[in-house]
Amino acid sequence: MASASSTEPFFGIREEDHRNQMKQQQPASMPTSSSAAAPQTAAPVKKKRNLPGNPNPDAEVIALSPKALLATNRFICEVCNKGFQREQNLQLHRRGHNLPWKLRQKSTKEVRRRVYVCPETTCVHHDPSRALGDLTGIKKHFCRKHGEKKWKCDKCSKKYAVQSDWKAHSKTCGTREYRCDCGTLFSRRDSFITHRAFCDALAQESARIPTGLSTIGSHLYGNSSMALGLSQVNSQITSSLQVQSHQSSNNILRLGGGSGSGSHFEHLISSSNPSPFRPPQPLPSSAFFLGGASNQDFNEETQSHHSLLQNKPFHGLMQLPDLQSRATASSSTAAAANLFNLGFFSNSSSTSSISTSNITSNQNNHLLISDPFSSGNGSTESTTLFSGNFMSDHMAAGMSPLLNTSMRNESSLPQMSATALLQKAAQMGSTTSGGSSLLQGFSSASPSGSRSTSFQAIFNGGSNGSGDALRFQMENETRLQDLMNSLANGNAGLFGGSGGVAAFAGSCTTGGHEQQAGGIGGFNSGLCNMDEAKFQHNISPGNLGGSDGLTRDFLGVGNMVRSMGGGLSQRGRHHGIDISSMDHEMKSATSSQSFDGGTLQ
């Protein structure tokens, strides 16, 4: 019975107050127990104290004023002003001052018994027939029932009007142990009684509610507590998006332009400490991971990276077939795919060792490394190598942790809770939209205006920088285009399931051609772009301004493309890059697909 159970605690806890005469005044149907044992379970009376308020009829009835009753020390020593409650004590004290003293002798003759009534008119003890037999009794009664409870237990906040009650309680409060049948231990009786009430209720209820759910709950808890960390990060991200996007633009600038130091890059890859890149990192996946990890210490982070390594074969299994099938589909991208693949693996292994050239070197080194390749195999490969590195960097920094976490999740519980999903989604949304609402970035009805967001603008800046830097390395425009193209493809693939990197892709495109970037940027702002492209294009064909036909075409070819990849490959066309744009599309399509698989596992 739910209602009954919820009141039990009151009953139980109040009971301790009951150990006074008042209680004995209850009608016979409510018998008293001399101990303070749990009244619900206690058997009716074991032993009867002589009931107070049943005085000798011929006793002298004394009514004291409340003041007299509350006065603690009525007998004052004239020498030291020390007060005493009893005259006898004062007399003994006077002896110490060498004052005349006199103890009253026990009179042999029969004294008339005195009884005391309570001055409170509403009180049962106000009636002389219910008077109490001794002065201390009436004093305590008056204090307890009608006085202020000024003695408070520090441990359990229980208040007492009589100091001695409080002292007695303080001695036992928290010392005794109570054990419920369910095995729970309690240090305080009131807690125990409260618990008992609900424990019984639970026993009744559990008959209706299937068992074993609590374990699921704890699993869920384990999961979402991690997600909770996320939400903090997320709120940070959302609240100060301006700042963060600025930061991330800086990072991108360094990354792309190669101006970033090696150590900075190391941060990106190793994630060994909260790198400057991490908080603003627009990847939902990485942010997702971050949320969990950023609150933890270093050890845990490295641990998770270890588990990332353990997961690595799994990546390989997942991705290699895809990449190889693509290799057969288009020979020109085969090398790229392989290289990309290599890059990925080398970097993810380097996550543990942090010693390969990729990591210790900065972006320039990357490009230098890629040069031999490019001389041997052509420009596309060099760029794809770069893209491979680029991607794998992100993989190591952001994506793989997601994989890692999500895999952990899968091993421990069937799926994420709705709360966790929302948080994850919010993380994604925060990268593109800004503001507190996920929705705001998605006003995709008018993508032409989407460039107005500061985020996009900052990305433009960042990517311009990277463009310049790349130009510095690259000898001709085509290479740049290729590089960017592959970057875009890589990004698109990488972020097949995430909006954040779409912004990256957007930035790459804006570096080259800001004209189109507007449209694409808006397009990129999707949260979970599995279908964004499709929706955009299918629902509002005019919205993307001229890219519609291409997209459709692309959709026709790629068919399985779910992401920006499509949109970005258009950019490739706009740029007039002719390196088998179809292949590019295919590549982006397939790679995005494979990464989709990877990211969303």
Site for another protein in 348-387 (CB under 8 A): none
Residue 198, amino acid: F
The least CB distance from residue 543 to another protein, in Å, is 10
Q: 539: how many CB neighbours lie within 10 A of its CB?
A: 10
How many chain residues are in contact with another protein, going by CB under 8 A?
97
CA 230 from chain center: how many Å? 6
What is the Cα–Cα distance from 444 to 541, expressed in whole angstroms? 12
What is the Cα–Cα distance from 490 to 394, expressed in whole angstroms? 10
Q: Which one of 320, 422, 457, 557 is in contact with another protein (CB under 8 A)?
A: 422
Per residue, the 3-state secondary structure of 89-122, as one string, reads HHHHHHHHCCCCCCCCCCCCCCCCCEEEECCCCC
- Asked if 462 and 253 count as a contact pair (C-beta separation under 8 A), the reply is yes
Q: Which one of 183, 210, 317, 328 is in contact with another protein (CB under 8 A)?
A: 210
Site for another protein in 216-255 (CB under 8 A): 216-218, 220-221, 224-225, 228, 231
Q: Is residue 101 classed as helix, strand or coil in its secondary structure?
A: coil
Q: Which one of 54, 85, 259, 540 is in contact with another protein (CB under 8 A)?
A: 540
Beta bridge partners of 115: 61
Q: 407: how many CB neighbours lie within 10 A of its CB?
A: 16
Q: Which one of 177, 205, 475, 578 is in contact with another protein (CB under 8 A)?
A: 205
Q: Which is nearer to another protein, 69 or 420 (CB)?
A: 420
What is the Cα–Cα distance from 479 to 575, expressed in whole angstroms? 12
Per residue, the 3-state secondary structure of 440-490, as one string, reads HHHCCCCHHHHHHCHHHHHHHHHHHHHHHHHHHHCCCHHHHHHHHHHHHHH
The least CB distance from residue 294 to another protein, in Å, is 16
The answer to whether residue 449 forms part of the interface with another protein (CB under 8 A) is yes
Q: At 273, phi and psi to the nearest 5?
A: -145, 165
Residue 269 structure tokens: 């890859």
Site for another protein in 134-163 (CB under 8 A): 145, 156-158
What is the Cα–Cα distance from 299 to 302, expressed in whole angstroms? 5
The answer to whether residue 437 forms part of the interface with another protein (CB under 8 A) is yes
The answer to whether residue 424 forms part of the interface with another protein (CB under 8 A) is yes
Q: Which is nearer to another protein, 434 or 465 (CB)?
A: 434
Q: Choose one: 125-133, 205-213, 379-387, 392-400; the region binding another protein (CB under 8 A).
A: 205-213
Q: Give the chain's count of helices (H) and strands (E).
A: 26, 8
The answer to whether residue 45 forms part of the interface with another protein (CB under 8 A) is no
β-pairing, 83-84 vs 114-117, is unpaired
Residue 204 structure tokens: 């009744």
Q: Which one of 97, 175, 538, 546 is in contact with another protein (CB under 8 A)?
A: 538
The answer to whether residue 557 forms part of the interface with another protein (CB under 8 A) is no
The answer to whether residue 448 forms part of the interface with another protein (CB under 8 A) is no
The answer to whether residue 453 forms part of the interface with another protein (CB under 8 A) is yes
Q: Choose one: 336-344, 393-401, 445-453, 504-512; the region binding another protein (CB under 8 A).
A: 445-453
Show the CA angle centred on residue 229, arms to residues 223 and 235, nearest 5°: 130
Q: Which is nearer to another protein, 233 or 483 (CB)?
A: 233
The least CB distance from residue 54 to another protein, in Å, is 19
The answer to whether residue 101 forms part of the interface with another protein (CB under 8 A) is no
The answer to whether residue 202 forms part of the interface with another protein (CB under 8 A) is yes
The answer to whether residue 497 forms part of the interface with another protein (CB under 8 A) is yes
The answer to whether residue 444 forms part of the interface with another protein (CB under 8 A) is yes
Q: Choose one: 207-215, 293-301, 375-383, 485-493; the region binding another protein (CB under 8 A).
A: 207-215
Site for another protein in 5-24 (CB under 8 A): 6-11, 13-15, 17-18, 22-23
The answer to whether residue 440 forms part of the interface with another protein (CB under 8 A) is yes
HSE on the CB side for 377, CA within 13 Å? 18
Q: How far apart are the first and last CA of the chain?
A: 46
